[in-house]
Structure 1
C-alpha cells in the first residue's frame, strides 16, 4: 500500500516538474533571442565604422560642443529631478486613496506622450505666445531654443520615472522605524533625510541612472522645443540627426561615440549597483 502511494506521489511530482522545466527552457530561449537581437543591433553600428572615424568624431569641435551640452544639461536636469522628485515620491508613498492615485496618474502622463507632442506642448506653454511664455516674454525671458529649454525637456520626460521608482523604494521601508523616529520628536524632513533616503539609496541611484539614459537619448521633444543650434542647443543626439542628413558614415561613428561615452558607463554602473 505504501509503495503504491509513493509511486503515485512520484508520478505526480514528475508530471509537475516536466511543464516547469519546459517553461524554464522556453524562457531561457526567449531571453537568449532577445539578448542576441539587441547585441546584433548595437554590433551593426560598430561594424559600420572604424577607429579612425571614431577618433575623427571625438576630436571634432562640434562633437565636443554637443557632448558638453549633453553632459551639462543631464547633470543639471538630474539635480532638479532629484530635488523636486524626492519629496513628491515621499508624499505619494505616505498617502493612500483615489485622489493620490489620480495624482500619481497625472505624473505618469509624460511617459505616454509622444515626443513630438511633448515638444509642441512645451512650446505652447513656454513659447513667446504660450500660456506662461507670454508673461515671461514681458519680463524679457525667452525659454524656447535655449540651453534651459533642453533642461526643461529632460526634467519633464524623466521626472515620472524617478518619482515612480523612488516611491516604490520608500514604500518598502519599514514604517515602524519612521514611527519610532517621530515618537522621539523627529520632523518629517528629518525622517525623509535621515531614514528614508539612506535606506533607499540604491533605488534613488537606479532611478537617476534610468533618467540619465532617458535624457541622453531624448530627441523629438528637444528638437521641437530647444532646436538644434550648433554650440547652443545641439546635443549629441540631435548632432547624430544632423550628420545623418549629410553623411551616414559620420552619423554612425557619432552613434558609437554616444554608446561609449554615455550608455556603456551608465550600464556598467547599473550592473555594479545591482
Structure 2
C-alpha cells in the first residue's frame, strides 16, 4: 500500500511505475571479486547488469545507460541486449527520452549515451570532476571508466545537455536523487515513490544484497569509509530493507514479478512487493 506522505512532509505524489531491466551478465566470479573481506570458502556470485525505468504517464526517467557490445567484448561480459533494446521492450524509444539520471560514470552505467540524443543527463558534480581530473592519471583509477563514454559525456556537456547536482535533489514530485559517494566520487542513488511506497534504487551503493547485509563492500571504491556510511544512508532512506534494490544482484530478477510473461528474465516491476524477503535474498 502506498504511504500517505513522503518523508519530507509533502502530500503523497502520484506513484511511478518502476522497472529493472537486465541487459548483461558476468559469471565465474570468486568471492574476492565481490567482497572486500572475502571468505574463500564462500561461493562466488555472478553479477547482473541493469538499467532502470521510472514512468508516470508521459513522464519518463531512465536511470543509467549501461554498455554496448564493444565494452562487453573488451571486458568479458555477456551482453544479452543493448539498453535501448531493453527499453524498447517496455515501449520506450531511447531516442525520444528527455531525462536520464546517471548514477555515476563507470563504464557499465554511462555507456551508450549517444543512443539518447534528446536527453538531459543528471549527475552529481563530484563525479565528472573525479573522472576528468588529476586522479585519472593513475591507471588503476581510470580502469573502471571508458574514455569514449567520457568523451560522449563531454560532448553532451558542450551541447548544454548536462544538469549538475550537489547533494540531494528532488527532480520531480516522487523522485529524488541522493548523494552516496564511496564506490565512486559522485555516486547517487534514486528514491522513487511507487504504489508500494518509496523504493530506493541503490545502484552501486550496494552491488549485492549481501554487501549491505554484511556491511562488506564491493572491492572497488574511492573511499571505503564513505561507502560504509552509504550503507547506512540507504537504510535510512528506505521504509524497509525490502524497499532497497541493489545495483548488480542477479537475484533481483527472481525477487520481483515480470511485467508480462514474455519479459521473464528480462524486466521486473520494482513497484510490486518482492516475491522473496530481503533476508532470503541476502544469504
**Please, what TM-score do these two structures have when normalized by structure 2?**
0.23
**Please, what TM-score do these two structures have when normalized by structure 1?**
0.23
Larger radius of gyration: 1
Higher normalized contact order (CA 8 Å, seq sep 6+, divided by chain length):
1
**Bigger proportion of residues as helix:** 1
**Bigger proportion of residues as strand:** 2
